[in-house]
Amino acid sequence: MIDEDVADALYTSTKKTGDQRINTEIKDQIRVYDVRKVSRFLFDIMTSFQNDSEHEELVRQCLVVIGQWVGKCPCPASLCSLRVAWIDITLIVNDEYMTLIYRFLGHPALRTAASETLANIVSKKMSSSDKLEMITFLNLTQVVNSLDADEDVEFAEAMARLVNVQGLELTRILLEVSPAIIMYR
């Protein structure tokens, strides 16, 4: 199974060195030949079934896959050295995809998965300038302020994680860009 043998960072980190080399080669080939197609396919599935209550689980699973492929491994840094996701962030962070994901934030059955996907996107390892540009593009402060999570504890927790991840990333950028200013105060 491709997901367990190749894409899942925790699973591959427990394999033999030879297996990891083969899995890395497979990822490289997927990046070159297939990841754009897969990204488009996931988008098309979510778009086609976004208003179909019988297929909400399929859409939710697409959001989970996107979050796993774009964002960091969810385990603590001390437990996993494979924390950086392996697909190009611009395949997902664009007007078309973000509009769809933001729409799912208003869908009761999909909003927690959409929020978790956004948290994974924000946690994507990248340069500080690229990260700041992405955070500005996402405009999550406005998005979060427009949502009501009072009645749904699971969604409220996912939104809190999203806000926390963005705060941590902005703090990391600030410390990286201007450590002398921080230390002086």
Q: What pLDDT score does 173 carry?
A: 92
What residues in the chain have per-residue pLDDT under 50?
1, 12, 73-84
Q: What pLDDT score does 77 carry?
A: 42
Q: What pLDDT score does 22 carry?
A: 82
With a pLDDT cut of 90, the percent of the chain lying above it is 52
Domain boundaries defined on the chain = 34-184
Q: What pLDDT score does 85 carry?
A: 59
Distance of CA 75 to the CA centre of its chain: 14
Q: Which residues, including other chains, have CB under 8 Å from residue 123's CB and lie 6 or more apart? A: 71, 72, 165, 169
User: How many residues belong to the chain?
Assistant: 185
Alpha-carbon span 88 to 125, nearest angstrom: 11
Which of 145, 108, 138 is CA-nearest to residue 123?
138
Q: What pLDDT score does 82 carry?
A: 38
Q: Which residues, including other chains, have CB under 8 Å from residue 35's CB and lie 6 or more apart? A: 87, 88, 91
pLDDT tens across 124-149, in order? 888 999 999 999 999 999 999 898 87
Domain 34-184 of CATH type 1.25.10: yes
Stated pTM of the model: 0.80
Q: Which residues, including other chains, have CB under 8 Å from residue 163's CB and lie 6 or more apart? A: 140, 144
